[in-house]
Structure 1
Amino acid sequence: MGDSPTRRVLVIGGGASGNALTILLRRAGIAVDLIEAKPDWNATTGSGITLQGNALRVLRELGVWERVSDSGFPFGTLGITSPDGTVLHVAEDMRTGGDELPATLGMQRPRLQQILIDAVRASGAMVRLGTTAEALEQDADGVSVRFSNGTEGRYDLVVAADGLNSATRAAIGITGKPEPTGMAIWRITAPRPEGVERTDLAYGGPAYIAGYTPTSENTLYAFVVEACRERASLDPADHADEMRRLAQEYGGAWPEISKHITDPEEVNYTWFHRLLVEGSWHRGRVVLVGDAAHCCPPTLAQGAAMSLEDASVLAELLTGGREWDDELFQRYYERRVPRVRAVVEASVQIGRWQLDDVRDADLPGLIIRTMNLVKELP
């Protein structure tokens, strides 16, 4: 089987990994249908995102780096502060995407999604929004799919890019499920105060971490990490009051940021989860990418990078002239899993040290080892 344009792939889910894979497969002449459950394609969802160099490297491969660069806020250092805002240490961020890309770029998440949406549209993929896969039936040659709108399709490959709570993962009999790590995060978008030109993290105080990241010339996203609470105890109408209560004990840019924590609908509250599907990321001709296969707390800011790398590696294998068979899909898993496991375990470990109040943990060493790993090409 060569790179014949008669091949058809269904991508389920239009997040970062699904969009990236669609763009790369279309570039190789493969027919791609992309379905996304949300009618608005998640174009307005989320506050900010921190993209490190290895994520930027994939975005450059997708041909969207220039637009990403124009929209985001690049920086090369990380500030560690006390809760009152006193800067304790400024660390150089590792350029995990190579010397020609910034070490880190903060960005508004909806802006990144829109850039990827535009690239998918330009690729010529067939996109159907507000649509899910209701049933998958596999045989030796492909997958027959029945959609929620009553139509059916036949594909050489189905890619499950439908996120943390992937219905496709469950439908093909993979039993792994995301597990809470014990932490949760409050996030909000706010105007960027003058002088905020990198991520600053305060450890301690009323929460485990309070931080902010510039996402454009005019915006930042701010976040507070605490032990997770039962959602039933949190009235969404009180989200702004709760986040502001936690934030008010922090100095630095926080007093200015806190003035904008007023609308509960602008505050996002999420539990941290961990997931790593073991053994393989496929069953027959259905393959997992991104959060459907793995997820981790954002303590290393590597979640989106791992998902984008999945798409890059899978596209490379699918367009390399090999048979689309168990051996190829297992090769994809074996290339990805050591790197992803290291990131998931390190991200969870950092949170565990905080939950357990471990004072002598080798946090810098763990971060450096993990960043050295992701600096290598995936």
Structure 2
Amino acid sequence: MADSLTLPHSRLRSSGGTPIVLVIGGGASGNAITILLRRAGIAVDLVEARPDWNATTGSGITLQGNALRVLRELGVWEQVEASGYAFGSLGVTAPDGTVLFVAEDIQTGGEDLPATLGMQRPRLQQLLINAVRASGAGVRLGTTAEALEQDADGVSVRFSDGTSGRYDLVVAADGLNSATRAAIGIAEKAEPTGMAIWRIAAPRPESVTRTDLAYGGPAYIAGYCPTSENTIYAYVVEACRDRAAIDPATYADEMRRLAQGYGGAWPEITEHITDPKKVNYTWFDRLLVEGSWHRGRVVLIGDAAHCCPPTMAQGAAMSLEDASVLAELLTSGRDWDDELLQGYHDRRISRVRTVVEASVQIGQWQLDGVRDADIAGLVGSTMNLLKERP
């Protein structure tokens, strides 16, 4: 099934002409860099493996200020603000719902943006899809890049439908299990951290006006985030199990069993954990590609280069920042050479490494049963670092 905006069979850059970029993957980072490059007048083709462009999957997402800053750069901030639920604090509770303390969130995007905003993930994806379409990029859905052949001047790509194209640069935004990453000889793969998460979208209890996290109880973490005036997404984190051994028909039963051990707003939330098709179960993974994030004229972005558990809610933010930094460099007037692409990596690696390692550490402390872990200190130092522009 192909989108109505299709790619020509071959696109060649003439001498001194406008460069042509292929973006593989239509998630947050792929959509974002497409929008930014098109704004600069660069021709972009985007291919996405899923025919539905991931427009209906996912429950909710927590976006902190540094993510909102990039969404403002993309021109969708006003729609995001209208669609989501902004708040500025984080509550930590006992499993029975007793509030232990409330901390003010750090405004990593600056004082003119909320510290945190929750929204329904499909709504965010739809806003980005609309912006990609409005940009005039070529789009093909249900299509993958099957083969890439590089030379000194560009990349020849053969697609899954038998068509082909010629590009000056290929941006691999095809996610955690990136086939493009493997195709260009980067061997790193995502590794499970030992934790897994149950997620569901649910109606918002009137009392839920921020994220609250309960540590301990039947699971390691139980939390929720308001995603609009009427909705939240709720989640429970436990040790990972063999996914093949869990019948998807029991997903609601499994999540409800864990959630019933929590007080506060949880009894009201648990009433809505009934449909197994609305419950998602996912392992936490870790990935950080060491060394360069490019090979020749193919460059990794977002989860294809790095991913981390959502213990700090920074995964999407790191992907969006990648897009912003890479687009800035590609539109700077400099040659698209090894120096520029290595410069992209060099600007990102320290910041991304800090987030990945902190996110993994928070989970590891819980797996190891460390009772005096300074989670608040680690989160605070990391978030203060993220106030600086990438």
Would you say same fold, with TM above 0.5?
Answer: yes
Q: Which residue of 2 is the match for residue 237 of structure 1?
A: 249
User: SS where residue 175 of structure 1 aligns?
Assistant: coil
Q: Given residue 65 of structure 2, which amino acid in structure 1 is its aligned partner?
A: G
Q: Which residue of 2 is the match for residue 109 of structure 1?
A: 121
CA contact (8 A) 1:5 1:29 kept: no
Q: Which residue of 1 is the match for residue 196 of structure 2?
A: 184
Correspondence list, 1:207-286, <5 A:
207-286=219-298
Q: Which residue of 2 is the match for residue 126 of structure 1?
A: 138
1:348 to 337, 343, 360: 360
Q: Which residue of 2 is the match for residue 200 of structure 1?
A: 212
CA contact (8 A) 1:81 1:201 kept: yes
Deviations 1:250-280 (A, max 9, x none): 0111101111100101000000000000001
Deviations 1:297-320 (A, max 9, x none): 000000000000000000000000
Q: Residue 354 of structure 1: CA displacement?
A: 0.2
1:30 to 38, 42, 52: 42
Deviations 1:218-275 (A, max 9, x none): 0000000000001122110000000000000101111011111001010000000000
1:329 to 338, 341, 345: 341
Measured in 2, the distance between the counterparts of 1:240 and 1:195 equals: 23
User: SS where residue 379 of structure 2 aligns?
Assistant: helix
CA contact (8 A) 1:50 1:105 kept: yes
1:169 to 151, 156, 181: 181
Q: Residue 360 of structure 1: CA displacement?
A: 1.2
After TM superposition, the structure 1 stretch with the greater mean CA deviation from structure 2, 337-346 or 366-375, is 366-375
2:65 to 53, 56, 66: 53
Ranges of 4+ aligned residues in structure 1 off by more than 3 Å: none
Measured in 2, the distance between the counterparts of 1:205 and 1:115 equals: 37
Measured in 2, the distance between the counterparts of 1:374 and 1:226 equals: 28
Measured in 2, the distance between the counterparts of 1:10 and 1:335 equals: 22
Deviations 1:44-103 (A, max 9, x none): 000000000000000000000000000000000000000010000000000000000000
Structure 1 residue runs of 5 or longer lacking an equivalent are: none
Q: Which residue of 1 is the match for residue 10 of structure 2?
A: none
User: Cα RMSD over matched residues?
Assistant: 0.9
Q: Given residue 301 of structure 1, which amino acid in structure 2 is its aligned partner?
A: A
User: SS where residue 98 of structure 1 aligns?
Assistant: coil
Q: Residue 5 of structure 1: CA displacement?
A: 6.3
Q: Which residue of 2 is the match for residue 144 of structure 1?
A: 156
- 2:370 is aligned with 1:376: no
Compute the TM-score of the two structures, normalised by the length of structure 2. Answer: 0.96
CA contact (8 A) 1:191 1:257 kept: yes
Q: Given residue 299 of structure 1, which amino acid in structure 2 is its aligned partner?
A: T
User: Aligned residues: percent identity?
Assistant: 82
User: SS where residue 342 of structure 1 aligns?
Assistant: helix
User: SS where residue 85 of structure 1 aligns?
Assistant: coil
Measured in 1, the distance between the counterparts of 2:204 and 2:377 equals: 31
Measured in 2, the distance between the counterparts of 1:251 and 1:332 equals: 46
Q: Given residue 165 of structure 1, which amino acid in structure 2 is its aligned partner?
A: N
Q: Given residue 10 of structure 1, which amino acid in structure 2 is its aligned partner?
A: L
1:95 to 95, 107, 129: 107
Q: Given residue 346 of structure 2, which amino acid in structure 1 is its aligned partner?
A: E
Structure 2 residue runs of 5 or longer lacking an equivalent are: 1-12
Measured in 2, the distance between the counterparts of 1:123 and 1:348 equals: 37
Q: Given residue 64 of structure 1, which amino acid in structure 2 is its aligned partner?
A: V
CA separation of 1:351 and 1:5: change in aligned 2, threshold 3 A = farther
CA contact (8 A) 1:183 1:271 kept: yes
User: SS where residue 364 of structure 1 aligns?
Assistant: helix
CA contact (8 A) 1:58 1:309 kept: yes
User: SS where residue 79 of structure 1 aligns?
Assistant: strand
Measured in 2, the distance between the counterparts of 1:106 and 1:115 equals: 15
What is the total number of aligned residue pairs between the two structures? 376
Q: Which residue of 2 is the match for residue 160 of structure 1?
A: 172
User: SS where residue 343 of structure 1 aligns?
Assistant: helix
